[in-house]
Amino acid sequence: MLTSLGADASIDEDLFNKIYTGMLERLKDKVPVVRVQAVNTLNRLQDPADPDCPIIQGYLNIMKSDGVGEVRRAAVKAIALNSKTILPVIERGRDVNPGVRKAVYEVLIDKVSIRSMRISHRMKLLQDGLSMDQACRCALLINKNSGFIARFYRGSE
C-alpha cells in the first residue's frame, strides 16, 4: 500500500501509528517472508535524520543477526544511508550469502558517491569486492554496466 503512494502523499496519523507499530513487531516475526515484507513496508517510514529511529535500529539489527539471507538482503536494500548506517552496510560485503554481498554493492553504486566515502571505507569495499566469487562479481558488473556495454557495442559496428 505505501509503495504505491506518491512521494508527496500523506496518510492519517492513526493509520500511520498502526502501520508503524505493527510492522516494527513484524520485523521480529518468526516467518522470514513476513520479515521481508515488514522491511519493505517500513522503508518509507524511516527517518535518517533521527539517530535513534526505531526502523533504522531494526534494520541494523536484522543486517547483523538475522539468520535468513533474504531478510538481510532486504534490510541492506531498504536502509537509509547516512554516516551511522554506511559502515554496517559496508560490513555486509562480507556476508556469507552472495545475494546480500551483491545487494551491498548495488545499493552503494546507486545511492552513494564514492568521493563522499572515507578512504578506509573505500579500501574495505575494494578488498571485500575482490574476495567475492567471480560469478557474483560478473553478474554485478553486467547488471550495472549493461547500458554502457550496449552503447559501446553499437558504437563499434
The burial of 97, by beta-carbon neighbours within 10 Å (0-12 exposed, 13-18 middle, 19 or more buried), is given as middle
Question: What values do phi and psi take at 118, rounded to 5?
Answer: -65, 150
Q: State the residue for C-alpha cell 563499434.
A: 156
Q: State the residue for C-alpha cell 524511516.
A: 46
Contact 42, 55 (CB under 8 A): yes
> According to the model, what pLDDT value does residue 140 have?
55
> According to the model, what pLDDT value does residue 147 have?
47
The series of mean pLDDT values per 10 residues for the chain, 157 residues long, is: 61 84 93 96 90 94 95 96 91 89 86 80 75 59 49 44
Contact 36, 70 (CB under 8 A): yes
